[in-house]
Amino acid sequence: MSHTPHTSSRSTDLSRLRSAVRGRVWLPGDARFDDVRLPWNRAVAQPTRAVVEAADAADVARLVHFARDAGLAIATQPNGHGASGRTEDTILLRTGRLNAVEVDAASRRARIGAGVSSGALQQATAEHGLTALPGSSPVVSVAGVALGGGLSWFGRAHGWVSDSVRGFDVVDALGNQRRVTAASDPDLFWALRGGGGDYAIVTGLELDLHGAPALFGGRVLWPGELTRDVLDAFRAVTAAAPQELTLWLELLHFPGSDPVVAIDLTYLGSASQAVTHLAELERLPAPLSDTRRSMSVAELGSITAEPTDPGAGVTRGELLAHLGAEAVDDVLTSSIAPMLSVQVRHLGGAFAQPSDTPQGPLSAEFAVYMFGSPAFAPAADIAARQQLMAHSLPITGRKPVTFLNPAEQLSDALPAASIARLRAIKSDCDPAGLFRGNFPA
């Protein structure tokens, strides 16, 4: 269901934005306009009428009033992760300056601005022996991940990222600043915890933190010819893994290099405890490298060492019911070219527990995420290879919201009942379609 903002009879001269808000404004023709409007994934075209970097939450409210009068929608992005390109005739709002972090160690809660990155939050929690629920990249925004439900290194122990959110600070479609909780507005609170960014502009959130007095993690890397053996070990370890242990299988093939296979892992506990659960890995041939060690929760980004600068990518994500069929072996041990990487994440644990969020409990045991770069192969060839791999695996027909690519819809990720409820909430809280998420319901 889509909504079109009303067309106002008032002037839509966007130069008035410069006096309407205190933050920075870029309009077409301005120096750097074509740079600041770009999403993180440079393969995604992102047309927009203007870009505004809000100075604070009050500035966001000013922008909402301006956009309502101008008959334009607002697309909100801290830094452009997860962009779908659905930004035609919008004002693109950047919330990166809303970057305050407050940690209450006694209550195990954090209050953060919408622009706070996962890495920044982890830095703040680490000194207290606590952790939020970070994923593989330290540069994504916590708010953006939570709005999409959010998969984390520690999700097997603590569920979706959105399960840990206790409150949102928002600006609604009338330009009012509000605090939204399960008690104050249960429908909007439910929608924001995994239904995307289509219902209000989130300026901050409060979330639970979790104990992390010890952490063991790293990457073990082998040559590609051992993929079948590593896959067998991956199956064996994940079949008996406690909720504190998370393993991701990585198939990697970079141009000019031989294929390699890796297991990335984290364990919420000591190194000695971790070793008892990882015996199957020790039975494999000597690896090319092994970075496993005791580490701080602020160092999680070092495990996969994903790029921290924007670039172009072609992606596809799926949920897998299992990894048990012989056909799975054939798919995962064949060449992944022209893709650069295929990641298989172990889920289960707390992900399968009840969750009062749009995605609900997750019965799938694994997720797969495929990545290729148009810098090395035509995008159409990468997408075709991804489709072939997906159709050869036991996919469930759903996927995490944060894994959606620009060609997909929110209905590809969430159950039909959740989509219906989200559309009703959208009609109630934003009937004019002032807000446009990356993936509208």
Output the pLDDT for position 79: 86
Q: Is 101 exposed, middle or buried (0-12, 13-18, 19+ CB in 10 A)?
A: middle
Residue 424 confidence (pLDDT) above 50: yes
Distance from C-alpha of 431 to C-alpha of 297, rounded to nearest angstrom = 42
Distance from C-alpha of 151 to C-alpha of 128, rounded to nearest angstrom = 23
416 Cβ neighbours under 8 A, 6+ residues apart: none
441 band by pLDDT with thresholds 50, 70 and 90: confident
Output the pLDDT for position 325: 80
Q: What percent of the chain has pLDDT over 90?
A: 95
Output the pLDDT for position 183: 98
In this structure, what is the dihedral angle of CA atoms 73, 78, 82, 86, given to the nearest 10 degrees?
20
123 Cβ neighbours under 8 A, 6+ residues apart: 298
Greater confidence, 289 or 3? 289
Output the pLDDT for position 57: 98
Tell me the three state secondary structure of residue 261.
strand
Range list of H helices, 149-270: 155-158, 186-192, 227-239
Q: Is 163 exposed, middle or buried (0-12, 13-18, 19+ CB in 10 A)?
A: buried
Output the pLDDT for position 357: 98
Over residues 356-369, the mean pLDDT reads: 97
Dihedrals φ, ψ of 354, to 5°?
A: -55, 140
Residue 173 is encoded by which pair of tokens? 């479609």
Distance from C-alpha of 226 to C-alpha of 332, rounded to nearest angstrom = 12
Query: Do the bridges between strand 73-77 and strand 90-94 make them parallel or antiparallel, or are there none, so unpaired?
Result: parallel
Residue 168 confidence (pLDDT) above 60: yes
Residue 229 is encoded by which pair of tokens? 């053996």
Residue 7 confidence (pLDDT) above 80: no
166 band by pLDDT with thresholds 50, 70 and 90: very high
> What's the chain's average pLDDT?
96
Q: Which of 54-63, 172-181, 324-333 has the lowest mean pLDDT?
A: 324-333
In this structure, what is the dihedral angle of CA atoms 10, 15, 21, 23, given to the nearest 10 degrees?
160
Output the pLDDT for position 3: 46
Output the pLDDT for position 361: 96
Distance from C-alpha of 239 to C-alpha of 258, rounded to nearest angstrom = 29
Residue 14 confidence (pLDDT) above 70: yes
Output the pLDDT for position 316: 98
Residue 2 confidence (pLDDT) above 90: no
